């Protein structure tokens, strides 16, 4: 009995050593450093004038970081404790934007990685497969027409994303799917939902709502606060935890359907279960950050080219690289035009669009229609 346990323990240790590599650890550390540095730059700018040193001191103020009353106010909306002016500005106005960027970056990256595995298509992402536009339409309808349902935005976005993904998969299904059919179906569904989004503006009679909706459609973190963090953090945490736990299943799916079935996997059940996780992850980001185009396509490729294709490494890498790239992109979007703030979705679109075309050109075979 003891010998069997010892053998099992050695086997588990070998498996852990097999995927937890030095390159993965360095990659995660580098991503963390980029996130922290970009976050510190982000909180140093705003309408309230303060030096870099004052802003950074407010970020690391022990009376805030270790104050349970303060975190209760941030996460549950209770009354704020007594704080300095700099701490109030940094922690109530600027830090939430960084946290929303971290949540959105991690969830979109992991969602894109899952979609690329379940479809076995390296061009797949929430944006390309129409999930973003479906979730976007549902959220936009809530903002413009059913504003009383705002607290349920992640659920509403998930329903819209699910409807879009099921539609894409149904259109692409022809005794199976292929990369080309999935991408073409995603393009069609994207166009339909974008037309519906534009049609919703005829029902909006408040100019402020229209401006907010336009900024949201381009993917913007401007004006985000602790309310957005509270909306997204729980579904994001659940989706990320399940995605990390499902990394082994994603590795098996990448071997092909026949191999996966021979190993005892119920392929369709696993595929749609993990797709549901990817939709929830993407919807959590879309509900608070808007439609950040191509992010879920680019990040998994960067991580895969750096740490390898094992989904245990890929998921962990996306969890760290997504926030680093999103916070950095948001800093670039904020500082690129001086006083004016560019939506972060514009930055990711300018990078992701050409990268998508590069991937299409790189593909030797895209599959039969």
Q: Contacts from 192-197 at CB under 8 Å and sequence distance 24+?
A: 193/130, 193/133, 193/134, 193/136, 193/137, 193/164, 194/133, 196/137, 197/133, 197/136, 197/137, 197/140
Note the pLDDT of residue 363: 63
CA distance 312 to 245: 9
pLDDT of residue 9: 45
- pLDDT tens-digit readout, 342-366: 888 888 888 888 887 887 777 655 4
Residue 337: beta bridge partners? 340
For the chain, 369 residues long, the average pLDDT of each consecutive 10-residue run is 45 57 94 97 90 93 92 90 91 95 96 90 83 87 80 83 89 74 85 87 74 78 90 94 94 86 84 89 89 89 91 96 95 80 85 79 56
pLDDT of residue 272: 82
As a whole number of angstroms, the distance between CA 133 and CA 130 comes to 5
| Phi, psi at 360, each rounded to 5° | -65, -40
pLDDT at 1: 45
pLDDT of res. 178: 65
Please report the pLDDT score of residue 6 as a whole number. 47
- What does the buried/exposed string (b/e) look like for 140-151 if buried means 16 or more CB atoms within 10 Å of the residue's CB? bbbbbeeeeeee
> What CA–CA distances, in Å, run from 42 to 57, 64, 97, 346, 347?
14, 19, 9, 18, 16
Helix (H, G, I), strand (E, B) or coil at 340: strand
Maximum separation of any 2 CA atoms in the chain, in Å: 73
């Amino acid at each position: 009995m003891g010998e069997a346990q010892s053998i099992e323990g050695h086997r588990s240790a070998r498996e852990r050593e097999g995927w937890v590599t030095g390159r993965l650890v360095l990659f995660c550390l580098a991503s963390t450093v980029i996130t922290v540095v970009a976050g510190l730059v982000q909180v140093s700018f705003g309408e309230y004038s303060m030096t870099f040193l004052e802003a950074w001191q407010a970020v690391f103020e022990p009376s805030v970081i270790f104050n349970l009353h303060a975190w209760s106010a941030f996460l549950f909306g209770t009354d704020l404790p007594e704080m300095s002016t700099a701490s109030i500005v940094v922690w109530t106005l600027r830090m939430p934007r960084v946290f929303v960027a971290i949540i959105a970056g991690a969830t979109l990256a992991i969602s894109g990685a899952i979609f690329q595995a379940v479809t076995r298509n390296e061009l797949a992402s929430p944006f390309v497969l129409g999930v973003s536009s479906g979730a976007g339409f549902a959220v936009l309808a809530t903002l413009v027409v059913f504003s009383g349902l705002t607290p349920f935005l992640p659920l509403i976005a998930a329903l819209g994303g699910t409807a879009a993904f099921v539609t894409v998969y149904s259109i692409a299904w022809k005794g199976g799917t292929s990369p080309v059919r999935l991408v073409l179906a995603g393009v069609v569904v994207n166009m339909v939902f974008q037309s519906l989004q534009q049609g919703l503006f005829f029902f909006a009679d408040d100019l402020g709502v229209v401006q907010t909706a336009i900024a949201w459609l381009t993917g913007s973190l401007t004006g985000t606060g602790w309310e957005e963090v509270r909306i997204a953090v729980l579904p994001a945490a659940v989706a990320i935890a399940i995605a990390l736990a499902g990394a082994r299943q994603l590795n098996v799916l990448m071997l092909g359907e026949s191999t996966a079935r021979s190993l005892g996997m119920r392929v369709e059940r696993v595929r749609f279960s993990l797709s549901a996780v990817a939709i929830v992850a993407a919807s959590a980001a879309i509900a608070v950050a808007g439609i950040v185009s191509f992010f879920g396509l680019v990040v998994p490729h960067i991580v895969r080219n750096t740490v390898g294709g094992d989904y245990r490494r890929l998921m962990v890498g996306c969890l760290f690289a997504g926030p680093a790239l999103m916070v950095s992109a948001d800093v670039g979007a904020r500082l690129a035009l001086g006083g004016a703030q560019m939506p972060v979705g514009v930055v990711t679109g300018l990078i992701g669009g050409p990268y998508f075309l590069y991937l299409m050109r790189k593909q030797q075979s895209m599959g039969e229609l």
